[in-house]
Structure 1
Amino acid sequence: MDNWLNLIAKQIPDFNFLDIHSLLNFTYSIDYNETYESASYLTMGLLVNKGKERPKLELVLKFKEITDLTMQRVGGSFNQLLGFSITDISNAGWESDKRYKIDDYENDVLHFYCKEIEFISIKEIA
Structure 2
Amino acid sequence: MIKNVELITNEIQDFSLINIKLITGFFVSFYKEFEENKSLLEIDFVIEGENGNKFLANFHFHNPQNIRYESGGPYHQISIKIQDIEDIGWENKRYEVIDFEGDTLQFYCSDIEVMSIKGTIYSI
Question: Residue 107 in 1 paired to residue 102 in 2?
Answer: yes
Quote the Cα distance in structure 2 between the aligned partners of 1:9 and 1:96. Answer: 30
Q: In structure 2, do the counterparts of structure 1 residues 46 and 111 end up closer, same or farther at CA, with 3 Å as the change threshold?
A: same
Quote the Cα distance in structure 1 between the aligned partners of 2:8 and 2:35. Answer: 29
1:4–1:117 Cα contact (<8 Å) kept: no
The corresponding residue for 1:89 is 85
The corresponding residue for 1:11 is 11
| Partner AA of 1:117 in structure 2 | I
- 1:10 deviation in Å? 3.2
1:98–1:113 Cα contact (<8 Å) kept: yes
| Partner AA of 1:86 in structure 2 | I
| Partner AA of 1:60 in structure 2 | N
Structure 1 alignment gaps of length 5 or more: none
The corresponding residue for 1:75 is 72
Report SS of the residue matched to 2:35: coil
Which of 110, 115, 122 is equivalent to 1:120?
115
2:7–2:117 Cα contact (<8 Å) kept: no
Q: How many residues align?
A: 121
| Partner AA of 1:97 in structure 2 | N
| Partner AA of 2:31 in structure 1 | D
Give me the CA root mean square deviation. 1.8
Question: Residue 42 in 1 paired to residue 41 in 2?
Answer: yes
Quote the Cα distance in structure 2 between the aligned partners of 1:5 and 1:55. Answer: 18
Report SS of the residue matched to 1:11: coil
| Partner AA of 2:74 in structure 1 | S
Report SS of the residue matched to 2:5: helix
| Partner AA of 1:48 in structure 2 | I
Structure (1 or 2) with the greater strand fraction: 2
TM-score after normalising by structure 2: 0.86
Quote the Cα distance in structure 2 between the aligned partners of 1:125 and 1:93. Answer: 38
